[in-house]
Amino acid sequence: MITEYAAEVATRMGMKLSKVSLIEGRTVGCLDTHSLMMSSNGCNVSTIIYQADLEKLENRIECDRLELRIQQALTRLQFMLEL
């Protein structure tokens, strides 16, 4: 579900991702974290995603923080593609 959501956010930003994957993470303190990897034209970026945000996405509850994290990573990817 997160991979489709990331691709949707990328499309809204005018980007096409060649690969999106979620790498299962680990518990850091009291938070479960995962790494969301996104690729386009040979450039890769990743961002930390929290389990709580994944659960909110599954339940369709307020995904603002998740969307912002994905947008930030995609902005870095856009910058890398422009170099």
Do 73 and 47 form a contact (C-beta atoms < 8 A)? yes
In 1-83, alpha helices (H):
2-12, 51-58, 64-82
The domain total for the chain is 1
Please state, in angstroms and rounded to a whole number, the distance separating the CA atoms of residues 10 and 5.
9
Of the candidates 73, 75, 81, 72, the one whose C-alpha atom is nearest the C-alpha of residue 43 is 81
* Whether the Cβ atoms of residue 82 and residue 43 lie closer than 8 Å to each other: no
pLDDT tens digits for range 32-65: 889 999 999 999 999 999 999 999 999 988 889 9
Q: Quote the domain boundaries for residue 77.
A: 2-82
54 or 29, greater pLDDT: 54
